[in-house]
Amino acid sequence: MSNASLDRVHVLLGVGGGIAAYKAAELVRRLRDAGAEVRVVMTENATRFVGAVTFQALSGNPVRSSLWDESAEAAMSHIELARWADEVIIAPASADLIARLAHGFAGDLLSTLVLTTAAPVSVAPAMNQQMWAHPATQANVERLRQRKVRVLGPAAGSQACGETGEGRLLEVDELIAALVAARGPRSLDGLRVLVSAGPTYEDIDPVRFIGNRSSGKMGFAVAAAAAQAGAEVRLIAGPVSLSTPAGVERIDVRSARQMRDAVIAAAADADIFISAAAVGDYRPETTAPTKLKKSGKALALELIQNPDILAEVGQSAQPPFLVGFAAETNDLEHYARGKLERKRLDMIAANQVGEAQGFECGENALLLIWSGGSEQLALADKRVLAQSLVERIAERYRATRPVVVSA
Ligand code: CTP
């Protein structure tokens, strides 16, 4: 299982005019291989070197080159495009484009986007070696650096114009490596995270079951956020109708006992276990092999207790870092602290259920408690909340587990 280094990162690739523009086509492919979503903006000059159709086919998205394309503006305005971007990379960047960026011009779509975006901007220069060495270009590049624009390259070598010197576009591999390195390490890089999510169903007979109102959204959002933070994620999912987050390995189960077996098998080589599943505490003592018929009398179901999966993982010899959830209608903090201790957890994420929060909705708020501290995460979209939760888990994990440095 590998987790792509630019998983779901929105990359806006600006292609400048220059013979190296053809290399940007390969860059699009490799960015996508690394997990990124790519949108391409070309300068007017770039379109003279490579056709927009090439970039459109490779990126899977429409390519833009003008501020005045009404249909494209209607689909996604340049402001939205600037906001969409997590990263802007300009490759190749010509001397003219660098000059315009250095001076804050906004006469075309690409330079306008660079002024509008809040995303980090990387520039990969490619030009004749004399142009690169010229004090005007060097001064412009220096200006960009001072503004925290990352300047990637250029490399030295033989040039398309027949000369030799500094001014070649970095190789595509080097551009990607530079981009990944510039983004910095992610909080769960190198860690294996196990997540349980969703409800469990306990069968009464072949057509009826006992379940609960968990949608699985929170657990799935946690799995997605952990993958995005660099972890190798395994997700044990109860019966839910949600699609598997990118880069996540999913195992579907139905009953609490099936979930227990899957979790116990996977917990042995997990660094962190986040138990977000709403495991049914009870199941019918027997499951009828055929459909139960009405008898005209009251029907009593004998329920017996299910295994407590999280508590069982907590009792293993070397448990992973354990995060439990507590959904409570009342006395939230009191019950959550009790579960933290009883189940030997490293952290518990407690949420109030009822009203417009908790089950079956897109928003939630969480009270995080660990031994020695607590933090309230305010009501937010479950995906946003999951990202905050994962960051706190990573911090607590690093604070409590010794760092193993391999030789
Ligand atoms: N959990 C579990 N297996 C169970 C029940 C719960 O792994 N059979 C996990 C849940 O995934 C959650 C945490 O334990 O992370 C809290 O579960 P909860 O059922 O709320 O706590 P209980 O200890 O069962 O307490 P109560 O039902 O009395 O609230």
**Each residue's pLDDT tens digit, 177-224:** 999 888 888 899 999 999 999 999 999 999 999 999 999 999 999 999
The best mutation among 264, 322, 333, 343 to test binding of ligand 1, ranked by most ligand atoms within 8 Å of the C-beta, falls on 343
Determine whether the shortest distance from the Cβ of 308 to ligand 1 is under 6 A. yes
Same domain, 305 and 380: yes
Residues 335 and 205 in one domain: yes
Looking at the structure, tell me whether residues 218 and 172 fall in a common domain: no
197 and 178 assigned to the same domain: no
How large is the average pLDDT for residues 385-391? 95
Beta strands in 119-246 (DSSP E): 121-125, 150-151, 155-158, 164-168, 192-197, 202-205, 208-210, 232-237
Mean pLDDT of 228-247: 93
* Whether the CB of 277 sits within 6 Å of ligand 1: yes
Query: From the alpha carbon of 311, which atom of ligand 1 is closest?
Result: 7
Q: Could you tell me if 213 and 310 lie in one domain?
A: yes
Whether 42 is covered by a domain: the verdict is yes
Among 142, 160, 183, the domain-final residue is 183
For residue 279, the CA-to-ligand 1 centroid distance in Å is 7
Q: How many CB atoms lie within 10 A of CB 55?
A: 28
Same domain assignment for residues 266 and 396: yes
Same domain, yes or no, for 166 and 127?
yes
- Indicate if 130 and 216 belong to the same structural domain: no
Atom of ligand 1 nearest to the CA of 312: 7
pLDDT digits (tens, 9 = 90+) for 76-116: 899 999 999 999 999 999 999 999 999 999 999 999 999 99
d(CA 241, CA 216): 8
Work out how many domains the chain is built from and give that number.
2
pLDDT at 383: 87
Whether residue 382 has its Cβ less than 6 Å from ligand 1: no
In tens, the pLDDT along 113-149 reads 999 999 999 999 999 999 999 999 999 999 999 999 9
Domain end call among 151, 183, 215: 183
Average pLDDT over residues 67-80: 88
Question: Which residue, 319, 326, 205, 324, is CA-closest to 264?
Answer: 319
Q: For ligand 1, is residue 38 a contact (CB within 6 Å)?
A: no
Residue that terminates a domain, selected from 164, 183, 202: 183
| Average pLDDT for 273-298 | 96
Q: Whose CA is nearest to atom 23 of ligand 1?
A: 339
Identify the H or E element spanning 369.
strand 363-370
Same domain, 295 and 272: yes
Domain CATH for 389: 3.40.50.10300
Asked if pLDDT for residue 273 goes beyond 80, the answer is yes
Torsions phi, psi for 237 (to 5 deg): -110, 130
Confidence of residue 2 (pLDDT cuts 50, 70, 90): very low
Domain-embedded: residue 407: no
Kindly state whether residues 162 and 307 are assigned to the same domain.
no
- CB of 189 sitting under 6 A from ligand 1: no
pLDDT tens-digit profile of 326-383? 999 999 999 999 999 999 999 999 998 876 565 667 788 999 999 999 999 999 888 8
Sheet strands side by side (includes 10-15): 37-42, 10-15, 87-93, 121-125, 150-151
Does the pLDDT value for residue 4 go beyond 80?
A: no
CATH code: domain of residue 161? 3.40.50.1950
Give the position, in ligand 1's atom list, of the atom nearest the Cα of 276.
11
User: pLDDT tens-digit profile of 6-40?
Assistant: 888 999 999 999 999 999 999 999 999 999 999 99
Q: What is the average pLDDT across 278-284? A: 97
Does ligand 1 have an atom closer than 6 angstroms to the CB of 349?
Answer: no
User: Would the CB of 200 count as within 6 Å of ligand 1?
Assistant: no
Domain that residue 53 falls in: 3-183
- Classify residue 112: in a domain, yes or no: yes
| Pocket perturbation via mutation, ligand 1, pick of 310, 329, 333, 389 by most ligand atoms within 8 A of CB | 310
Average pLDDT rounded to a whole number, residues 39-61: 96
Cβ of residue 309 lying under 6 Å from some atom of ligand 1:
yes
Does 405 fall in a domain?
Answer: no
Residue at 176 is within a domain: yes
- Assess whether the C-beta atom of 324 lies below 6 angstroms from ligand 1: yes
pLDDT at 247: 82
Most confident of 68-77, 156-165, 256-265: 256-265
Q: How far is the CA of 237 from the centre of ligand 1 (A)?
A: 16
Give yes or no: residues 166 and 104 share one domain: yes
Asked if the structure places residue 406 within a domain, the reply is no
161 is catalytic: yes
Specify the pLDDT at position 76.
86
**Any domain includes 226:** yes
| The pLDDT of residue 54 is above 90 | yes
Backbone φ and ψ of 348, nearest 5°: -130, 140
Q: With respect to residue 161, please indicate whether it lies within any of the assigned structural domains.
A: yes
Give CA–CA dist 360/242, Å, rounded. 13
**139 CA → ligand 1 middle, Å:** 62
Same domain (yes/no): 14, 65: yes
- Say what percent of the chain tops pLDDT 90: 82
Mutate to test the pocket of ligand 1, among 308, 323, 330 (most ligand atoms within 8 A of CB): 308
